[in-house]
Structure 1
Amino acid sequence: MTAQLDNLMMNYPLTLPHFIERTRRVFAKKTVATRVPGVGLERMDYARWAERTQRLAGALKALGVRKGDRVGTFAWNSHRHLEVYFAAPCMGAVLHTVNIRLSADDITYIVNHAGDKILIVDASCWPTLEPIRKRLTTVEHVIVMKDTPSAQVPAGALEYEKLLADARPMESWPTLSETDAAGMCYTSGTTGHPKGAVYTHRAIFLHSMASSMTDLLGIHERDVILHIVPMFHANAWCVPFAGVLNGATQIFGGPNPQPRDIIEIVHNERVTLVGAVPTVWIAIDAILEAEPRWDISSIRCIPIGGSAAPRTLIEKFDKKYGAPMLHAWGMTEMTPLGTVCRLKSYMDALPDDERYAIRAKQGYVAGGVDMRIVNDEGVEQPWDGKSVGEIQVRGPWVIRSYYDNPESADRFTADGWFRTGDVASIDP
């Protein structure tokens, strides 16, 4: 008789309650903060944040939110938004972050197509939603967060802080499957209506662990993370989730942060990681040139996405400001990380010119993601730095279909790859 060999490990579900419970117990004293215009940083520790998150879950349950219901957000980056990031999926609902910069018609389509039951809105964003409120046919309750000192709650809406104060905290999280939906984001910039990407607990869990790898973003407990990438854009590159998992100090940029706000927070709080698109860093560079008193050398990593940063900008931030930029590539459909551009060990001895030429590229594929390039005839191309083809990917945090959108089936190959639509060559 042969003893059983396979399947001897625990079948432990990779779900988000693990994140919040770990941080509540291990990193209770660490800080979460939000920039409040005209006031400064509103701070709290993870213990209080976790308790507030449990209160929000209790409040949502009292409003009738059940497993699988969509909880939409229409908001800037804040600790309150982070509370929704965890309260909704940890209670079994689905977090749906809505892009506040889309047109009224796109917002209406997205909210209705997703079937949002609750919409949690920053007061400063309400003027965008008010004209279309009656068109949002699935929304039963609107909850408004006061994100500025003068903010008002419109008639008919619930006030976030009062809701939390009156709520009975959810003392324990329900048992969830790692394949349950945890979040969803809609793509923009595509033809036709925006398309919904739905993320499972497992996808976010594994993506957060990957983001903690040294050769990717290397997020860790000693980090001070400033969130400028919008939380409505591909989960702010999923960094808030990894920040909670690792107990990092997290600072949220608040409503409409400007380049000077970013500089002041980095300087005063000794921020170590802050991502943004290149145009933001071009504006920051102009301020630093004019006002050299600012020090941003605490930054160990500036993840760059959305578009490529000019090589000259990468080199300048490296040499003049001591703040290294890190090119990355990804998509909403990938939760979103696909590649990161770090120098390999044997590249350290290369001349400056060659090293910066490499760093101006999008890097190599992240651990956990498979990648190939395929030409117009459907033939996979070699990784030789010359051959060109469409990037196709697969992996545990890559979607295998869009939400309720069968007409987009051609974005997925018969052998299980996602067709990104991006064209590239891959270096050997």
Structure 2
Amino acid sequence: MLGKMMDFQLTIPAVMRHARKIHGEAEIVSKLADGSLHRYRYVDAFDRVAKLAGALKKLGVEQGDVIGTLAWNSYRHFELYYGVPGIGAICHTINPRLSDEQFDFVLNDARDQWIFVDPDFLPLMARLQDKFKTVKGYIVLCDEADMPEHNLQNVYCYESLLAEQSVQFDWPELEENLACGICYTSGTTGNPKGVVYSHRSTVLISLTANTSSSVGMQPEDSLLAVVPMFHVNAWNIPYAGAMAGAKMVFPGRFMGDGQALAELMNEERVRFASGVPTVWLALLQHLRENNTKLETVERLMVGGAATPVAMMKAFEEEQGIFMQQGWGMTETSPLGTMNMPTPSMEKLDKEAQFELRKTVGRPTFGIEVRIVDDALNELPWDGKTPGSFQVRGPWVCSQYLGIEQSDAHTEDDWFDTGDIAVIDKQGYVSITDRSKDVIKSGGEWISSADLENAVMAHDSVLEAAAIGVYHPKWSERPLLIVVTKPGVEVSEEELKTFLATQVTRWWIPETILFTTELPHTATGKVSKKDLREQYRDFSYQE
């Protein structure tokens, strides 16, 4: 017997209908390029989304067409998140930090038809426009009065297009398994790969994000989306936030500006914010240098890279803010695990709590995880046995755009994340390395993540990265590259002495190098690939 329930499709327009009717008075606030704030309500936003849908149809956009966005976090980008998939087209959010070669690849691979672009990025588009084989034209995200000079072909002004349309739009009935969005991986090895999200997967992950064991947004929340809207749907905050009826705050081009973020958080009484560790590092520096307090912030959600325990302690002790770490990737839409505080965690002493909090947490409902050896034998969840970390679930990529088979997908239908992990009996996941970054010295593993986390607990260290380099006896040994805090000096020997109190002695690298800046990927992670290239001639001698 089958269930006797309505066949209600889980689609982005359903999220829009709910948010408009139930949470219509909630606010969306955006910091504009000139530093001013734009403020309107959900009901106003979705009226404009209807106008956008009409404009898209006037441009000839059909169901299944791919529409690119090259934009900062703003109310106009929010409108594109709903208007494009709402008519059955596919929203391709493009990372502006890609190299020229990667831009060329991803726009042609996705077959983008139109590009919605912030004025900041017009020179980039103009320089590369001859390489785009399918792009019909560009829509600049601004008013007519702010249209900059350009030499692009077939260009429209966003506000002028919307002004011609009605707030009444006959939304089509969509099937929930239709594609709604495309996001490309950061391309750390080879070309970026396209991950295609469906309406169903997007709605399901947004529902899960709002559960109490995950992000758990509430109608009274004011949330700041610092994580870029060009990076995995801003971790689905534009959808999950609308479901919950939360006030959404977008920082525009100021997402890396500690002062601007602090001011925005206090002005808009932000309770919750999301971003990568490098963003929170810049914010912490600003708060310390200016003796500033964040008056209303309760939680910072962190993903994209390991969060140093020292940073967690600093925010909690100096600001009273809980840093909530999670794990995910483009291929998991991105929510995979989340480290929410629990009653059992709160019973532990402070140091034991931080030991648990430095893990990426436990799988959310909808995500199943396992660790395996090279023969795909499942390994125990004993908190000490490392293995290849694999996942599966309804919002996990089943194949990449244009790639029928991928080495990341196993024969028994699991996705291999490329991470090495340890899982304890309670299901807490510790990511110890990327499989391609693991340091294997004398046949034993050294966790680069743990080594980096340990050295960053030193008061003088701002950022650090560990890579494996050749050693004639041990095959490989760690090389630690450190960035110190501005105006602070520390010796190599002092850091080695400090590390001896933090990690197993044989993990301590023979050499620690100092630099002014580490290379980062387009998504803000430290680029181990670039570091290995930079130090390719470095090797230890007997």
TM-score normalized by the length of structure 2 = 0.76
Q: Secondary structure at the match of 2:371?
A: strand
Segments of 5+ residues of structure 1 without an aligned counterpart are none
Give how far 1:229 is off. 0.6
Preserved CA contact (<8 Å) 1:36 1:148: no
**Residue deviations 1:50-104 (CA, integer Å, cap 9, x gap):** 0100111110011110010001101111010010000011110001001110001
Preserved CA contact (<8 Å) 2:269 2:297: yes
Q: Please, which of 407, 414, 419 is the counterpart of residue 417 of structure 1?
A: 414
Distance (whole Å) between structure 1 residues aligned to residue 172 and residue 207 of structure 2: 23
Amino acid at match of 2:156: L
Query: Is the counterpart of residue 266 in structure 1 residue 265 in structure 2?
Result: yes
Distance (whole Å) between structure 1 residues aligned to residue 133 and residue 147 of structure 2: 26
Residue 45 of structure 1 corresponds to 41
Change in CA separation of 1:59 and 1:278 when aligned onto 2, cut-off 3 Å: same
Query: Is the counterpart of residue 68 in structure 1 residue 67 in structure 2?
Result: no
Give how far 1:170 is off. 5.4
Distance (whole Å) between structure 1 residues aligned to residue 33 and residue 131 of structure 2: 31
Q: Please, which of 14, 17, 21 is the counterpart of residue 21 of structure 1?
A: 17
Preserved CA contact (<8 Å) 1:124 1:255: no
Query: Is the counterpart of residue 94 in structure 1 residue 90 in structure 2?
Result: yes
Distance (whole Å) between structure 2 residues aligned to residue 113 and residue 21 of structure 1: 32
Q: Secondary structure at the match of 1:414?
A: coil
Structure with higher RCO (Cα < 8 A, 6+ apart): 1
Q: Please, which of 424, 429, 433 is the counterpart of residue 427 of structure 1?
A: 424
Give how far 1:409 is off. 2.1
Q: Percent identity?
A: 38
Preserved CA contact (<8 Å) 1:123 1:153: no
* 1:173-212 superposed matches below 5 A: 173-212=171-210
Preserved CA contact (<8 Å) 1:36 1:147: no
Residue 298 of structure 2 corresponds to 300
Q: Please, which of 238, 241, 262 is the counterpart of residue 239 of structure 2?
A: 241
Query: Is the counterpart of residue 113 in structure 1 residue 109 in structure 2?
Result: yes
Distance (whole Å) between structure 2 residues aligned to residue 170 and residue 389 of structure 1: 54
Amino acid at match of 1:358: L
Preserved CA contact (<8 Å) 1:153 1:159: no
Preserved CA contact (<8 Å) 1:266 1:296: yes
Preserved CA contact (<8 Å) 1:393 1:419: yes
| Larger CA deviation: 121-130 vs 252-261 | 252-261
Distance (whole Å) between structure 2 residues aligned to residue 284 and residue 114 of structure 1: 35
Preserved CA contact (<8 Å) 2:258 2:284: no
Give how far 1:416 is off. 1.1
- State the superposition RMSD in angstroms: 1.6
Amino acid at match of 1:214: S
Residue 397 of structure 1 corresponds to 395
Give how far 1:275 is off. 1.3
Q: Secondary structure at the match of 1:420?
A: strand
Residue 384 of structure 1 corresponds to 382
Preserved CA contact (<8 Å) 1:36 1:42: yes
Distance (whole Å) between structure 1 residues aligned to residue 242 and residue 144 of structure 2: 25
Q: Secondary structure at the match of 2:406?
A: helix
Distance (whole Å) between structure 1 residues aligned to residue 285 and residue 147 of structure 2: 32
Give how far 1:396 is off. 0.8
Segments of 5+ residues of structure 2 without an aligned counterpart are 426-542
Q: Secondary structure at the match of 2:262?
A: helix
Residue 352 of structure 1 corresponds to 350
| Larger CA deviation: 191-200 vs 247-256 | 247-256
Give how far 1:39 is off. 4.0
Amino acid at match of 2:361: G
Preserved CA contact (<8 Å) 2:304 2:329: no
Give how far 1:26 is off. 1.3
Which structure's CA Rg is the greater one? 2
Query: Is the counterpart of residue 135 in structure 1 residue 120 in structure 2?
Result: no
Distance (whole Å) between structure 1 residues aligned to residue 55 and residue 314 of structure 2: 49
Residue 281 of structure 2 corresponds to 282
Distance (whole Å) between structure 2 residues aligned to residue 371 and residue 344 of structure 1: 20
Give how far 1:247 is off. 1.5
Q: Secondary structure at the match of 2:77?
A: helix
Change in CA separation of 1:74 and 1:246 when aligned onto 2, cut-off 3 Å: same
Q: Secondary structure at the match of 1:275?
A: strand
Change in CA separation of 1:113 and 1:342 when aligned onto 2, cut-off 3 Å: same
Preserved CA contact (<8 Å) 1:343 1:358: no
Amino acid at match of 1:289: R
Change in CA separation of 1:312 and 1:284 when aligned onto 2, cut-off 3 Å: same
Q: Please, which of 345, 354, 370 is the counterpart of residue 372 of structure 1?
A: 370
Task: Give aligned pairs, total.
Answer: 422
| Larger CA deviation: 222-231 vs 167-176 | 167-176
Give how far 1:149 is off. 8.6
Distance (whole Å) between structure 1 residues aligned to residue 84 and residue 168 of structure 2: 11
Q: Secondary structure at the match of 2:423?
A: coil
Q: Secondary structure at the match of 1:409?
A: coil
Q: Secondary structure at the match of 2:407?
A: helix
Change in CA separation of 1:153 and 1:213 when aligned onto 2, cut-off 3 Å: farther
Distance (whole Å) between structure 2 residues aligned to residue 356 and residue 115 of structure 1: 46
Amino acid at match of 2:322: P
Distance (whole Å) between structure 2 residues aligned to residue 216 and residue 174 of structure 1: 32
**Residue deviations 1:103-133 (CA, integer Å, cap 9, x gap):** 0110111011101111000001111211001
Change in CA separation of 1:248 and 1:168 when aligned onto 2, cut-off 3 Å: same
Distance (whole Å) between structure 1 residues aligned to residue 145 and residue 62 of structure 2: 33
Amino acid at match of 1:298: T
Preserved CA contact (<8 Å) 1:146 1:152: no
| Larger CA deviation: 25-34 vs 115-124 | 25-34
**Residue deviations 1:161-218 (CA, integer Å, cap 9, x gap):** 0010012445221111110001110001332211000000010000000110111001
Change in CA separation of 1:29 and 1:182 when aligned onto 2, cut-off 3 Å: same
Preserved CA contact (<8 Å) 1:78 1:254: yes
Give how far 1:36 is off. 1.4
TM-score normalized by the length of structure 1 = 0.95
Distance (whole Å) between structure 1 residues aligned to residue 145 and residue 380 of structure 2: 57
